Structure 1
C-alpha cells in the first residue's frame, strides 16, 4: 500500500512505500472505517531515519498536511488531527476529511411541510459545506416533515436526517492526478431491511467456517425488551385503525395481524410462546408497547410497525463473531456493508448466520492486527435442499472474485535510469488460473496500452510511477491492480582532470583540462555527446575574462591551457547541461 502526504493545498508532496528501500516507510498503521457513521480514522507512524540518517523528506511533514491512499474503489483522504514527534518517529492520528462535519454546527430547523431528503440537504447547508455533491439517491421520492429543535454538529444533523428517512449513506472522494480535490459525493441508500440491502453487496462467495476464517461465535438471548402487541401512531393522529394486516409464517399460520377498527398490531404466535402471565386461556397475555412517530404516510407507518414488532416479538438474539486476522487478506475486496455467511457446527444442529460488515480494522504493515465487526446478524437454515444447494454452488461460482498476480523479470526498483523489467500478469478466478478470452490493459502516466505483458524501462520513470493493470474477460473488466515503480537517480558529480597539474614555473604552461561526469562511482558521457560543456575563465582579480569567455562559448569536453591563457593566476570553471538522451 502506498500512502501519500499532501500539502495544505492538497498537492502530493511525499509518497510512503514500505516496498521501496529509499522512500519513507510507515509502521503501526490502523485504518478503521465505520458503516453507520460513514467515516473512518487512520493512525500510523513514520520512522524518521533511513540508512542511518534522517530522511530528507521529513522536513515536509507538518500538521497542515493531508494524508490519502486508495482503497475499496475510492480515495480515502484524512486531515491530521494530532501529530507527535520524538527523536525517531512521527506519530500521526488522522480523521477522514468528512469528519470536518463534526467541526461545523447546524442551527435549529423546521421544514413546515413534507420535503425530500435532497431538499433538506440543500436547505440545511449540508451539501454546500465542504463542496459535497449528492450522487446516488435510492429514496429520491420519499418525503418527510421534520423539525430539528436544537443546534448540533452537521455530522449529528446528517445522521439524524438519514435516520428519519430510514436511510444510510456513504462518502466517495475523487482526486485529480496531482492529488487535489476533484469532488466529494454522498450516496444515499434505503436502510437495510427485508427487501433492501443498503450499502454493500450480498457476498455469496464469502463463507466463514469455524477454525478456518472464524475463531468462534457467541450467542445471547435477551427477553428484557420483548413485547408482542404495539400501537403505532404517526403525525396528526395517523394510525393503523383502518388497516388490515395479516402475515403468515412458512407453515401458513398467521404470525402478525391487525384488524380494522383496532389500532393495535399483534404477534399471536409470540404471545403463545412467551406469555405475559400465568393466567388461563382467554385471559390477557399480551405485552403491549406504544410508539409515536412522525410518519405521514400510512404505508410508511405500516412498514415501521411490522419491522419493529418483528424485531421485539421474540427474545432478542444477538450474535458476536470473531474472525481470524487472515480473513481480510483472503478477501481483500470485502467492503463496508457487505453481507457474508458464517457457519459454526459447535452448536446443536449447527449454526448458520448472515452478518453484515459494519466496521473494519486494517493494518497495511501488520495484517495480524486485522479484524472485523459484524452487525445485522440473521439466523438462516443450515440444511438447504439439494436443488437449493446446487443454486448456491452456481451462485458462488459465478461470484468468485477475479484476482491478478504480477511477476517481474527485473523487479520494480531501478537506479540511475538503467535497466528494464518485463511485467507479466496472471488472472485467477477463485484462486484458480483463468485464461479463456483474457486480455490486458496497462496505464502508466496516463498512457494506456494493450498487450499480454508490459516492458518497463527505467529511463521512462521520473522518480516514482504507478503502473495500473486491468484484466478483461471478453470486453468486461474483471480485476484491477497496481504496482509502484521507482527510479532512484543519484546526483551527478563534475570532476575536472588535468593532464599536467595546475601549478607551473618560469612562464611555461601546458596542460589539458577535461571535464568528467560521475554518477554512483561510474563515469558517464565519456564521449561528450549527451551534455554540453561550457568553460569560463576568471582572472586573478576575480573579474571574468570576457574576451576569453567569448572565444570559448561553444561546448568542449577538454580545453588546452597555455601561457597565453594564464597571467600569474586564473581560475577555469565548467558548466554542464543535459542535451542528449537520458543517461
Structure 2
C-alpha cells in the first residue's frame, strides 16, 4: 500500500491528495524517496499525469505524508509539465533551513549547543530539542562569513562531535506542527552483531574500494608538543597496540605492507595533530583515527531495500581480501520507491563522516533554486490608512521589500497596480478618495534584474459614509393592526428605521397573525431523516416536465432546477416537504459555462478559418514565386532582342561603308554608269538579304518560339493566382467575422461569471467551474486573434511578392520599348542606305511581333497585378466597432439611434447591438442587429414568512439559563418544526459553545452569546 500524500498551499491548507489507492484521485509513479545520513535529510521526486486536478502540484506548495512510522514534510521546488506528465522535485526540512542565512558570529563566552541554536532563531522554526547527549558541554566558537542555517548547524555538530537527527511532526490535518531535534553521538542502531556477507546476504550491484589514504601506524601530537611517550594505560584494542610514541596495527600491515618492507618494519606511518591537552584523550582520539584509516574505504551499493534505518551499523564480511576483511559499515543512503520496490537501493560505507551528504549536483540545484525561489517579505505602509470617509482624503503608499530584517527594496523595480492594471512605478504612490468609487485594490510587484517577480503585496481601499443605527420596532394587536394591544396580542407588527422611538401610527407597522385558534391535542413525532430532493423542470415558475430525485443534476440548457427538503417522521409515521425553491445559482453557473463553451467554439471556428486563410495565402505566395520564375527567361529574351538589334545596326553601317569603298575602288575609272548602277544594286540586294535573314533569326524567330509559350504559361499562372486570392479574401473575411463573434460570446460569458460572483447563493464549485470555462474560452479567443494576425502577415508577404513582379513587368515593358526603338532605327538606316525592302520587312516583322505579344501581355500582367493588389488591400481588417441602440420595441430598432456607447438598461426599453467591420480598402460590413436585453419576466411569487429568534433568560444566583424561541411569520415553532429546519447552536463570537434549545452559563462578568439556526433565520445577541 503506497502512502497517501497531501498537497498543501503556502498557508499549510490541504488542496488535495495524491492517492494511488483511490479511484479517480491523482496517482503518482516513478517516485523516489531519497534518505541521507546527515541530519536525516530527505528529498522526494516523482511524476503524475497532467490533468486539471494535478494543477495543485506547483512550486511553492508542500507535500506531506507518513511512511514507516515517520512523518515527511517537503517543499516543491521544481516542476516540469507537458501535455502528458507533470514531474516534481521536493526537498525535505522546512524551506527556511535551505534559504535563510546567518551572519558571521563569534561567541563572547563558551556556550552549549542548545544556546547556539537559540542564538540563530530556531524558535521561529518551532525547532524543539528532544534529546541532547552533550547538554553539559560548552565551547567558545567562531564562524567567519555568512552561510545557510543548515550549513551552520552541521558545522556546530562537527565542533561538538555529535550528529543531528531532525524529525518532522505533522498535525492530523497533514500540516506541519513542529520539528523535533535529537542531538546524539551517533544516529541509528548498533547492529554490528548481524553479519552481512558480500555476495550472499547482500547482492551488491556496485562496490567501490579506495586505499589511497590508508596507513597502518600513527604518531599523534597534542597541544604544546604532547606525545604518547611514557603513556602506561594503553591496552591492546582490536589488534592495535602502543609502542613508544606510535600506535601500530599489525593485521592491517599484513594486508597492506609498505612498498619497502624493511622500512619501519613494513608499516605505513602517518603523523597526526590534535588539539588535546592530556595523554588519555590523545590516545583515544589517535586510536579511533587509526582504526578508521587502516582499512580500505569501501562503499557497497545494494540492490533492493535492506531492513535497516539510516545510520544503522552492520558488520560486513568481504572475502575478496586475504585474510577475510570484516568492516563495520553504516547505512548512509536509501532510495525507496513505493510503487516499484525493485528500484529501491541501500548504500553502506565504512568511512563517511557525518556532514551534508547532498551530492554536489543537488547542492548546486539547491543553490540555484534558493536564488530563483527565494522569498522576500513585502508590505505597504499607508500614511492615512485604507478607508476614506465621505469621499474625502488622500494617502501616500510606500512599498517595502525585506530579506529577513534587511530592507532590500532598492534592489528591485517596483510597479504599482490598481485592480490588476499598472498605475505607477517607484517606491511610493499617492491615492486619493476620488480615484475610485466604492472599493479598489492597490498593490505592487517587485521585479528582479531578470524580469521575474520576486514579491508582491496588495491592500484594499474603501470609500464609506458615516452610518446610522438601525432600530426594530414591534407592537401587538388583537384587531389586525387597527389598534395596539399590550402586552401581547393575536397579531404582531414590525418596521425598521433610524429613530429609537416607536411610532404611535399602526399603519407604519407590517402586521402578521401569530396566534390562531386552539387545535386538537396531537402527538409528538420523531424526525427520522432529512433529504434534499431536486426537480429538473422546463419552467421557472412551476415543477413540470420532470420528476423529483435525490441526485444533484448537471446543467441542461433550457431547464430550471427546483429544490425541496423531504422530512421523514415516525411515531406516527409521516412525511413532510418544504416549499420548492428555484435554484438560481445552478442556473446562473450553467448559463455562464454554456456561454463560455459557445465562445470557445466560436474562437475555434475563427482559428480554423484563419488557418485556411494562412494556407491559401501561402498558396498565393507560391504562385507569385512561380510567376517571378516565368518572368526571368522573358527578361533574358528581350535583352537578347535588344542586343541583336544593336549589332544589326552596327553591321549595316559597317557593310554600307565598305560597299561604298569597294565601289569607289572598282568603278572610279569607268564611265559605264549602267554597269555601275547594276553592280551597286546587286551589292545592296545581297547585303540587304543577308541582314534581313540575320535580324529575322536573332529577333523574330527566337522570340516567337520562346516568348509565345512563356507568356501563355504566365497568363495561366495569373489566372490561378486570381482564383486563390478570391478564395483567400472569402476565408479571411470569414475568420474576421468569426473572431468578432467569439469576442462577443466571450464578453457575454465574462458578464455571466461576474453576475455569478455577485450572487450570494453560488457555491465555490459552481463559481470555479464557470471561471475555468471562461479561462479556456479566453485562451481560445487569444489563439484565434493570433491566427488572424498570422493570416494578415501571410497576405502581406503575398502583397510584397506581387509588388516585386509588378516592378519586373514595368522594367520588362521598358526593355521592350528600347528594343522596339532600336529595331525601328535599324529599319530607317537600311531604308536610307538601300532601295531594297527585305531588311525593312524583316525588322518590321520583329517589331510587330514584340508589340503584339510582349507589350500587350505585359499590360495584361500589370492590370492583373493591380487587381490582385486591390483585392489584398481589401482583405485586411482595419477596425471592429460595436454599435448600440436603445429601442422602445423588443422586435425592432425603434425610437432611438445607433451609438458606440452602450446605454444603461432602462425599464420598458431594449438594448440592440450590431458589429461594423472596416477594411483597409475602405469597404465595410455590418452584422444584423441582435437584441441584448430580454423582455421583462413575470412577477415572482411571494416570499416565505420571515423568521426570527427570541431568547428568554432565567436566573438562579449567578447561573443563567437561556431558552431560544424560533418564530416563523410571527408564530413560534415547535421543537419538531425547528429540527426540520436545522439545528440550534450557541456561539460566543465565532466560537461554538453548545447545541440545543437551552444554554446554562455561570456568569462572573459580562458575557455575550448568540443563538443561531444553522439553515437560516436571524440570531439576536443575549
Residue 230 (1) aligns with residue 236 (2) = no
Task: Specify the SS of the correspondent of 2:98.
Answer: helix
Q: C-alpha distance in 2, partners of 1:342/1:245? A: 31
Tell me the CA shift for residue 292 of structure 1: 3.4
Q: Which residue of 2 aligns with 1:306?
A: 287
Q: Displacement, 1:579?
A: 6.8
> Aligned match of 2:133 in 135, 138, 147?
138
- 1:237-316 mapped onto 2 (5 Å cutoff): 240=228, 243-248=231-236, 255-257=240-242, 264-267=245-248, 269=250, 273=254, 278=260, 287-295=268-276, 299-312=280-293, 314=294, 316=295
Larger Cα Rg: Structure 1 or Structure 2?
2
SS class of match (1:133): strand
SS of aligned partner of 1:246: coil
In structure 1, runs of 5+ residues without a counterpart are 192-197, 379-490, 504-508, 552-576
Q: Does the 8 Å contact 2:195/2:317 carry over to 1? A: no
Could you state the TM-score of these two structures normalised by the residue count of structure 1?
0.58
Distance 1:208 1:534 in 2: 79
Distance 2:320 2:287 in 1: 33
Query: Displacement of 1:166 after TM fit?
Result: 1.8
Q: Is the 8 A contact 1:144 1:295 kept in 2?
A: no
Between Structure 1 and Structure 2, which shows a larger proportion of helix residues? 2
Question: Matched residue of 1:118: which SS?
Answer: helix
1:167 pairs with 2:162:
yes
Q: Is the 8 A contact 2:534 2:564 kept in 1?
A: no
CA contact (8 A) 1:27 1:44 kept: yes
Q: For residues 275 and 367 of structure 1, do their structure 2 counterparts lie closer, same or farther at Cα, with a shift above 3 Å needed? A: closer
Distance 1:371 1:216, change over 3 A: closer
- Name the SS for the 2:337 alignment partner: coil
Q: Could you tell me whether the CA contact under 8 Å between 1:360 and 1:373 is conserved in 2?
A: yes
For residues 579 and 195 of structure 2, the distance between their equivalents in structure 1, rounded to whole angstroms, comes to 67
Structure-2 separation of matches of 1:65 and 1:278:
62
Alpha-carbon distance between aligned partners in 2 of 1:212 and 1:349, rounded to the nearest angstrom: 20
Report the CA distance between 1:213 and its aligned residue: 5.0
Q: CA offsets, 1:195-233, max 9 Å, x none?
A: xxx334528679567366524674736265425132232
Q: 1:5: how far off?
A: 0.4
Cα 1:224–1:211, aligned 2, differ >3 Å: closer, same or farther?
Answer: closer
SS of aligned partner of 1:210: coil
Kindly report the root-mean-square deviation, in angstroms, between the aligned alpha carbons of the 2 structures. Answer: 4.4
Instruction: Identify the range of structure 1 (512-521 vs 241-250) with the bigger mean alpha-carbon deviation.
Output: 512-521
Q: Which moved more, 1:169-178 or 1:286-295?
A: 286-295
Task: Report the 3-state secondary structure (helix = DSSP H, G, I; strand = E; otherwise coil) of the residue aligned with 1:44.
Answer: strand
How many residues are aligned here? 404
Provide the rounded CA distance (Å) in 2 between the counterparts of 1:217 and 1:516. 65
Going from structure 1 to structure 2, the CA distance change for 1:216 and 1:150 (only over 3 Å counts) comes to same
Shift of 1:190: 0.7
For residues 295 and 176 of structure 1, what CA distance do their matches in structure 2 show? 46
Quote the Cα distance in structure 2 between the aligned partners of 1:531 and 1:230: 96
Contact 2:219/2:271 (8 A) holds in 1: yes
Q: CA 1:141–1:241 in 2, change beyond 3 Å: closer, same or farther?
A: farther
CA contact under 8 A between 2:27 and 2:48: conserved in structure 1? yes
Contact preservation (8 Å) 2:218, 2:286: no
- 1:358 alignment partner, one of 306, 328, 332: 332
The 1:92/1:321 distance shift into structure 2, 3 A limit, reads: same
**Aligned twin of 2:65:** 69
Counterparts of 2:272 and 2:323 in 1: how far apart (Å)? 37
Give the Cα separation in 2 of the matches to 1:494 and 1:58: 32
Q: Does 1:535 align with 2:931?
A: no
Could you give the per-residue CA deviations for residues 452-484 of structure 1, whole angstroms, max 9, x where no partner exists? xxxxxxxxxxxxxxxxxxxxxxxxxxxxxxxxx
Tell whether the 8 Å contact from 2:30 to 2:47 is kept in structure 1 after alignment: yes
Contact 2:330-2:349 within 8 A present in 1 as well:
yes
- Give yes or no for contact 2:337–2:344 (8 Å, CA) kept in 1: yes
Question: Greater relative contact order: 1 or 2 (C-alpha under 8 angstroms, separation 6 or more)?
Answer: 1
Distance 1:227 1:353, change over 3 A: closer
Alignment-derived partner of residue 2 in structure 1 = 4
Identify the match of residue 518 of structure 1 among 542, 551, 557: 551
Could you tell me how far 1:346 is from its partner in structure 2? Answer: 7.7
Tell me how far 1:3 sits from its aligned partner. 0.8
Q: Which moved more, 1:199-208 or 1:111-120?
A: 199-208
- 2:534 equivalent among 489, 494, 503: 494
Shift of 1:307: 0.6
Q: Deviations over 1:235-266 (max 9, x none)?
A: x666546743422257xx7x32265xxxx333
Query: What residue number does 1:153 align with?
Result: 148
Query: 1:117 corresponds to which residue?
Result: 113
In 2, the alpha carbon distance for the partners of 1:542 and 1:207 equals: 87
Whole-Å separation in 2 of the counterparts to 1:109 and 1:309: 34
CA contact 1:357–1:372 (8 Å) conserved in 2: yes
**C-alpha deviations, 1:31-53, integer Å up to 9, x for none?**
1110025311111122124xxxx
Question: Is this contact kept in 2: 1:79–1:96, CA < 8 A?
Answer: yes
SS of 2:27's equivalent? Answer: coil
Q: Deviations over 1:56-102 (max 9, x none)?
A: x3344432311111124321111111122222222211111346323
Q: In structure 2, what is the Cα distance between the partners aligned to 1:202 and 1:148?
A: 37
- Distance (whole Å) between structure 2 residues aligned to residue 249 and residue 2 of structure 1: 50
8 A contact 2:133–2:184 mirrored in 1: yes
Query: In 2, distance between residues paired with 1:512 and 1:147?
Result: 84
| Matched-pair contact (CA < 8 Å) for 2:129–2:180 | yes
Q: Deviations over 1:121-158 (max 9, x none)?
A: 233x1623523122211222334343323332222221
Match of 2:171 among 160, 169, 176: 176
Q: In the alignment, what sits opposite 1:466? A: none
